[in-house]
Each structure stands twice: as structure tokens, then as C-alpha cells.
Structure 1
């Protein structure tokens, strides 16, 4: 007896069923130097179209001092010269559309750079109106202690006293004893979204990029914009990218995260996007404690998608995946929104490396050469099995650049070349995210694997990536790139994203789903973990993440080995 987890849905907006490819601009491709740029992206749009995706999402390319790889924005209206010009952005938007794709760009509304004109004005004059655009407050007795005990996601406390800034000595504000809030780096002051001016300005920013033709926005730290105005102490630490370190039930809700007021902001933004038609998307990066809270971001009058970090953080076990898939579909169906599946991004260890660790799931915050190393073969098997499972589920899915090549984490970086502020603010306790941000390998025969004309790369590539470069994989029918091309083509042809999903064998040591659509035969999705299982007699294989074991006797069927996903149909 099959249990229906999700009903077949009609084709609605494009994001309900899309495959979206995340581009980390500084690491994708360069036309000019050691840093990736917008023209470099244009040069490889044909590769992305051939991959079979529907849209691209670009991490920030705005003017920035690059203290946090562009997530510290100094000017939301201007492309950083590192990446090109505003004309390059317009050319990229047009080229994406010419290739039949859509484009989502990052929006960073929780904080600005400390070089933003607003924050510079706030520093220059304690009585300036811009002080109200941020969280400037007097400290505890005599201003020698911060206003509260909140900690930064990147380590250390979340407050900096103006006169303690490195640029304060001799400056006009060297005697300014007020503190300002930064839930990330001290160079990223948090905006005060109680300010009408802040809210109005971001609506203007959205319209600027919508006028240029973007198809939507991925909203960074979507759960963090609003804070309890009383700024109470909260004697607990919460790691936003924790993947399992959820706030215990006996701990009061954090006063700085996931407050209900954020939803009013996104209703305003939804109205702005709707001015440009019903096909503009808002995507929430919301690290929240439960799936029902995540679903609140994608109610009909708010956002279009919310990354399913519960799925990303789930260990590679049958029970963890079974629970995550059931609960994710339930929560999203309750608000009539698609589930948005994701396995990796620029903030977490690459999936084929995470899956090769003793403890799978979200994984550590970076891997050093001296840390326990992933089992490369095991990680590859599990990672590809997870990708085929994800692609077969109803809803949309994201892929991080290089996942189609099965690129592993660069675990051999030396500490003296790290750039992630998480490494520095934790005083080296965390390796940080540099290992998942290594420049793409395009050509195995060129310096820097063809990333840039000169062969220079802002972070070094591991030598073992030579055999994973795009040119190598394009020449092989058994490469992971070929597998992903077949996967996305089958996903689209079989309309897997719009199908009903039924669960069978609910208590088995493997996952078995039926994807059912009225335009074709049932497609079975089988993910095997630790217990190999034979396919039913008459199974016709559509795609599998690794080679299946051949029948050993007449009348027998293929056997699915451990750490493998296969899609198949059954002959009548």
C-alpha cells in the first residue's frame, strides 16, 4: 500500500519546478584576472544551458571592500570593479535570457558594509539621522560593556564600540563610546528595519535591479532582519549554519532571529515584485528551527521559495532522509508552496566530502589538512545518490557550481592563505568556508585549469581536480557531468517536479518512492543505504547514480548496491 506524501501539482510559476544553479562569481570564471567576473560568466552560459538547468543564482557582485566576499555591501546600485561594470551586469542579464534561462541575484538586507555611505555618515555625527538606520546604543555601566550579551555568528561578541574601531585613533569619533550591533563581522553593521527610511530604500534597490531585468532575488539571512527592540540579554549561543544545533525546547526564542515582524517586510517586497508581473521570485535563506517556521516565509503573499536546510543538514541515513522528506512536503503543502531541495552552497563543505565523513549531515565548518579526511570513494557514492534522490522529488532544486563535476572540498589549504572572516574571528577554531569556494576547473591542460587567461586564481586549486575538469568530463560518457546532464533531462521529460509522490515500504532499510504523473508511467525512485536490494522483476532502468550489480542467474534482476539511487519503471 502506497502512502501519498504529495499530490500532483499543475505547472505554475517557473520556480515551482526549476533546477537553479548557484554561481559564486569570484570562483566561476574570469575573463580578466585572478578573480572571477561577470564577463567570465557570460563566456560559459552555453555550458550551463547544455547542463539542463532553468535559472542561475549569483552571489553578490555589488561594490564592497570584500571583508566577507561581497556579503558586506557598500553600494547596492553599483557593480564592484572586481567583477566588472553595470554595463557588464546588463549584458549578463540579457545573455542569460538569450540562453533561455532566468537570473536571480543576491540581496543582502540584514547588514551593510561599514563603508556604506549611511554608516559613514552615522560615524561622522552621533546626531545624524543615519544612526537610526543601524543599532547604535549606549553600553552597560560607563559604556565599558556592550549593551547585551549577544554573540556574532563569526565568533566573539556582536557589538563594537565606535572608539575601539581600528580606524578610530585620531579620528573625529575616537571619543565616541556608543556601541553598534553586528551579528556577523564588525565590518558588517546590522541595519535597523524599524526605520522607514531603510525599508523605503530597499524597495528602491529592488526596483532598480528589476528594471534591469532580473527575475528575482535570493535574500541573505532572511530570518535576521528584525530584532527585539528592547535588545534583551540572551545567555545562549546559536550557530546559524549549525545543522542540528537547534535551540533546545527549554531555551527562550532568540531575540535576534526569526521574529514575526520579518514577514511584514517580505509582504512589502512581494508587492514590489508583483509590479513587474507574477513571474518574479523571492528566495529565502532562512536558517530556522523547524520546517513549519520555514513554511511561513513562502505563504502566498510572501516569498516564492525557501531553501530546505533541513534536507541539507540531514545525515545520510534512511531514517533521517525519510523524516526530512515527509515533513518537508507536509510543511510546504500546508501553505501551497513548492519544496526547495538543496544539498550544498557556498557556506558548507561540499557534498561529496561531507558524505565521506564519519558523521554526515551538515558537516564541520571547513576541513584542515590535519583534520580527519573524507573517504573520497564513499563520499562520491553517497553524494551522487543524494543528488539523484533530490532531483526525483517534487518541487525545485538547487545545485552549487561544481557539484555537477563532483568537486570535493579543498582540504589541503594552509592557514596562511585563508580569507574567510569566520577563520579569523574564531581565532582559527573554525577552518572556514574557503575550501568550498575554490575556482572552477575548466580545462585540464591550461594553467589554473583555464579559470583565467593568466592561469592565476585567488585561491589555489588542488591538483586532483585536473581529472575532474570540464574538458575531461565532456569527453567521457561515464563522467559525473554526463550523469547530471542525463539526470536533468530525465527530470524535465518525466515532469518529476510536478508529480504526485507516494512512499512505499515505509519501514524498510531503503527509501522507495513512486513518482506518479498522468502523462506517463509511474517512475520508481529507490535509494539504498547499507543494505543492497534486488530490483523487482521487469524493472527498466532510467538512470542510476552508480553501476548496478549484474544478475547472477537467469530470471534474476539487477541488485542495487549500497549508497546508490536508481530511477526505474516496471513493465506491464
Structure 2
């Protein structure tokens, strides 16, 4: 049975008496009190640093220019020293690689480009020796059109697997996208468009029907209204759970269901990079039926020992919708839906971060937040938040937020180095199909998927091949693991220090959280309250290009202490800080200290 540490009486009194004022927070006072209370729950994923690896780009072990599983195994010591608790590996299953692995043709094997099941088992064993868990990307919304299920489904209307995908006869019509059906000319049944351009309906001449594909036409959507589909997909998840994986990141999980009546999605005006009308996703995304499926999935995973975890790719409009993906008060759906509202706001704003972080702290019924600022589908945070001059300092601010707030932390390979988004300059160089179809407005996702930068040697130590699947970023000679390891002020060492502080300091590991100086639009400040016998930790992050002078009143968090001691800062002028009165923070500076 797990117990909770109680906050010191002063903290509770401060909260009850309104030190956290209703004028500066819209959160319910009881939710604020809960957020401020330390917890003794040691469930591993509640304290984890999860590291996404795009396997094509992490380490090539056999000289073919493509990363692989044995390459990941070779680099486990690096990940252990960094302080990583779990690795999320983007799809490594057999695939035609139209969408670089997100078009899966076999869910229960390894693509030969990446190795074998024996290589995977060896990776699992070596990671376990280093206390690193392995998580897999599970793509449940769609398969490859080369998957045997779809080949059968597309062979005949009477095939037992025909109803495993979303098929439709179309509606009478002529012109673009028209085809000759059994009873005359037909067009797609509605205006739904693919996320990667064109109609989301593709004609199959064998069965004379359209099939639905939310993404590429080579990625037909599964029909999750068919119980056989759920049974088969859960079976594939069990295949990997039986092999010992710690859980799954669920790709495009909000897209599992579509409106059975096929209503048109509302037009929102204008056209996208592919030249298609912009549409709302009212009838193709985040439909209520998906939650029943997730509850059954959670129950299935819960039968396995070791606190296996489900992480969701959940781009949602607000925190209220995010809470539904936890299961609300029941907490019986995803343990960790990704909070993209914080990390992908793309606006370095203390006010915005304060509001969004406090929302997820107080509006998800005490569930564990999961913050993420980088992934394989978006330009790197280096550019999204950087101003072109202070990017490294801003990257340190982002890292400080990621690792000192009360959240599980998800990071992307190379984030710890300050890897940049290397956008192709010619359409001839683009590998990502969405960049080919959308050029020049949409240049694709190659830029955030370039090879990991290990050292200043050829191909940045990623490969011995004469050419790699994507070129290494041009700054690899100075931005790499080897160079930054030797620089105590590097972004890499900043990440290492933060991650180890998060593990070692009780306040950062299991403390509660209270926002300070709530009307400050330039500086984000907060306290991580500590369990009994430990010291509280204060964090100050100047998100402006000007020095900011401020005074913090720790009584707002119910703390008596007046003196502080610097634990970590990137500014020498702040290292001797001993009090929080009239503190001047240099531009884009970060400071972390203990309350003495």
C-alpha cells in the first residue's frame, strides 16, 4: 500500500488562506493544494526520463548508412550516463518504408534493415543491465497496404478480412476522382482529405470500392468497429509485452474511429500546402468511441507485471480534452497522454507556460503530466523557441522546465546537444513524401530526422558509409557528443546535471509544485515542495532578452525559509545567490536553488 507524505502545516495553511490567490489562478483551490503536495508514489514511469530514438538515425552498426538495433545497443552506455530511464523506439517493424516505418507490414517482427528479433532480444537484455527500459511505437490506426491483412481485404468483397478496413462504394458523380463502379460513375463519399494531400479515399479496381486512408494511400485505415481488428491488434501488442517491453507509445491514437455516417468535415477557409481545402477534423479525429477501446487496452496491459505504460500521441485543443485521455476521475485510460499544449506552443512566454503547466497540474484529477518539446514530426525546439542569437540559453531554459517541473519527461535524440532542423534546400534531396508533395510550402520532416552527431569524424560517427540515408547536419564538427562532453558549460552537460538532480533531489523527484510571482510576464518561477526532512527547490527562468529584477516571497508556497543556495545555473553572476530579494536575472538565464 502506498502512502502520501503530508505537506508541512505552514504550506497547507498558506494554501487554505489564499496565499495562492484566486485573482492569479483560475484553478480550484483543492486542486492547487493537491498539486503542492509531495507524493511517495515510486511508480517508475511517474519519475522517468523517456528518450525517443528514430532508429534510422541513431547509430549505424553495419555501414549501410541506416541506423539499426545493434547501433542502439552500442550506445546504451551513453544513454545510461545521460540518465535515461526508458527508450522509445520509433517503428522498427517490417515495412515498405513509404512513411519510414509508420506503414507496417508485419507487427510481430523486425525489419531486416534494422536487424532481427535476436538483435532486439539482445538490446532488451543489455538495456536491462543498465536499468533502461525499452518501449515500442505501436501504430494502431492503419497498416501498410502490403500487410497481408490488407492484401486479403482488397482481394474480394467476400473475403473474411474485407471488413477489417474502411471501405465504401462511393456516391454517384463525375469529374475528378470519379471511377466506374458496378452501377455507374462514382466519386468518394465525402470531402475528407488525407493529412498528406489529396482525397482520403483511394479507389480499388478489384473490389470497385474506395478505401479510407487518413495518411498516405499506402496506409489504409483499419476498421476499429470490427471486434476482430481489436483482437488482432491487441494480440500484436501482447507479442511484445510477452518479450518484456515496458509499454508503448501509441501513434495517431486519436484517429482510430471515423464518423460512421461519413459527414463532410467543415471547411475552415483557405488551402493547405498540398493545395487542398483546409478542413476541421470534426468527423475523423477524437471521436468518443475511442475511449472504450483505450479502456480495454489499459485493462489488457494491466495484466502484465512491472507497471507497463501506455503513452499517447495526443494533439488536443485543451487540457479538458487531455483529461479524457487519462480517463478523467477513473484514470483508466492512458497513463501518459502527451501534453502538446505546453511543449508545442512555440512561444517563449512565461505567462503562457505558467498557465499551461498549472492547468495540467490541476485539471487532470491528479494524473501524471507528460511534457514533451521535441519529436520526429516537428522542427526541433532549437529553432521553434530560439531567437537566432540566444538559442543555446533558450534551449537550457526549455530543458530546465522539462526536468524540474512535476512531470514525466520525454525527449528526442539530439535534443540534449542542440541539434538543429536541417531543412532540405532542393526538392531533389527530400526523402519525406509529404515534403515532395507539398514543396515548397511544405518541406517535409527530414530536417528533424538527421543522423545523431556523435563526434567530428566523417558522418559524425553515425556511420562508416560513403553516404547516409539523410545527410548529417552541417554543424556536426562542433555540435556533437564528444565535443560537448568535454565542455562543462555545454548543453549536453546541462542536460546531464538536470537529469541527475531530478533523480537525486527529493523535491525534484517527488515534490509538489507551487507557482510564484504569478503576474510576472517575463520570468517563470516556481517551488518544488519537498517531502518531510528534505529541502524545497526554487526555479527561476528569465524568458526575456532583458535583465529582470524580482523578489520572490516563499510564503506564497507556505515556506518559512528566507535563504537559498544555488544548485545549478548557467550564469556566473547567480552562483553566489543567497536570498530571493532584488534578484537580477540576466537575459534568458536559468537558476535552480534549494531553500535553506
Question: Are 1:532 and 2:550 matched, yes or no?
Answer: no
Is 1:151 matched up with 2:163? no
Q: Is the 8 A contact 2:423 2:446 kept in 1?
A: no
Partner of 2:396: 384
For the pair 1:130 / 2:161, whether they are aligned, the reply is: yes
Q: How does 1:301-340 map to 2 (within 5 A)?
A: 301-314=332-345, 315-332=347-364, 334=365, 336-340=366-370
Counterpart secondary structure, 2:197: coil
Aligned positions of 1:422-461 closer than 5 A: 422-444=434-456, 446-454=457-465, 456-461=467-472
The TM-score normalised by the length of structure 2 is 0.84
Is 1:228 aligned with 2:259?
A: yes
Q: Relative to structure 1, is the Cα distance of residues 214 and 52 closer, same or farther in structure 2, using a 3 angstrom cutoff?
A: same
8 Å CA contact retained: 1:291, 1:328: yes
> Secondary structure of 1:124's partner?
coil
CA RMSD of aligned residues (A): 2.5
SS of the equivalent of 1:569 reads strand
**Which of 31, 37, 40 is 2:61 aligned to?**
31
Aligned to 2:132: 101
User: Structure 1: where are the runs of 5+ without partners?
Assistant: 164-172, 358-374
- Give the secondary structure class of the aligned counterpart of 2:460: helix
Alpha-carbon distance in structure 1 between the residues aligned to 2:526 and 2:245? 36
Q: How does 1:182-331 map to 2 (within 5 A)?
A: 182-236=213-267, 254-277=282-305, 279-299=307-327, 300-314=331-345, 315-331=347-363
Q: Are the counterparts in 2 of residues 551 and 557 from structure 1 also a CA contact under 8 Å?
A: no
Change (3 A) 1:234 1:452: same
Distance 1:406 1:14 in 2: 27
**Cα deviation 1:20-46 (Å, max 9, x = unaligned):** 111110000010120100000000000
Corresponding residue for residue 15 of structure 2: none
Contact between 2:427 and 2:439, CA under 8 Å: does it hold in 1?
no
Alignment partner of 1:462 out of 451, 456, 473: 473
Distance in 2, matches of 1:257 and 1:219, equals 15
Q: Matches of 2:427 and 2:188 in 1, distance apart?
A: 31
Distance 1:547 1:389 in 2: 20
Equivalent in the alignment of 1:168:
none
SS of equivalent residue, structure 2 residue 395: helix
Displacement of 1:469 in angstroms is 1.2
1:483 to 1:82, Cα distance in 2 relative to 1, 3 A:
same
CA contact (8 A) 1:64 1:80 kept: yes
Q: Which moved more, 1:303-312 or 1:229-238?
A: 229-238
Cα distance in 1 between the residues matched to 2:505 and 2:538: 12
8 Å contact kept, 1:26–1:36 = yes
**Counterpart in 2 of 1:483?**
494
8 Å contact from structure 1 (residues 156, 426) kept in 2: no
Q: Is the aligned partner of 1:542 residue 2:542? A: no
TM-score after normalising by structure 1: 0.88
State yes or no: 1:59 paired with 2:90: yes
Kindly provide the CA deviation profile for residues 297-351 of structure 1, in whole angstroms up to 9, marking residues without a partner as x. Answer: 223222110111001122111221111111111222x1x3100011110011111
1:409 corresponds to? 421
Assess, with a 3 A threshold, how the Cα gap between structure 1 residues 113 and 387 changes in structure 2: closer, same or farther.
same
Task: Say if 2:543 and 2:589, in contact at 8 Å, map to a contact too.
Answer: yes
Query: Quick one: distance in 2 between partners of 1:493 and 1:230?
Result: 54
Mapping for residues 83-98 of structure 1, pairs under 5 Å: 83-98=114-129
Match of 2:412 among 383, 400, 415: 400
Kindly indicate whether the alpha-carbon contact (under 8 Å) linking 1:447 and 1:454 is maintained by their aligned counterparts in 2.
Answer: no
Corresponding residue pairs, total: 530
Question: Are the aligned partners of 2:455 and 2:476 in contact in 1 as well (CA < 8 Å)?
Answer: no
Equivalents in 2 of 1:383, 1:232: separation in Å? 44
CA contact (8 A) 1:515 1:522 kept: yes
For structure 2, the 5+ residue unaligned runs are 1-18, 22-31, 173-183, 552-561
Deviates more, 1:342-351 or 1:559-568: 559-568
Does the CA contact (< 8 Å) of 1:143 and 1:178 recur in 2?
Answer: no
Given the superposition, is the C-alpha separation of residues 551 and 476 from structure 1 closer, same or farther in structure 2, using an over 3 Å criterion?
closer
Is the Cα–Cα contact under 8 Å of residues 74 and 116 in structure 1 kept in the other structure?
yes
How far did residue 278 of structure 1 move? Answer: 5.1
Task: Encode CA deviations 1:481-535: one digit per residue, 9 max, x unaligned.
Answer: 1111111011111131421111111101311101111242121111112242347
Question: What corresponds to 1:170 in structure 2?
Answer: none
Q: 1:231 & 1:431 partners in 2: Cα distance?
A: 31
Structure 1 residues 327 and 238, CA gap change in structure 2 (3 angstroms) = farther
CA distance in 1, matches of 2:56, 2:526: 39
User: Which is higher, the Rg of structure 1 or of structure 2?
Assistant: 2
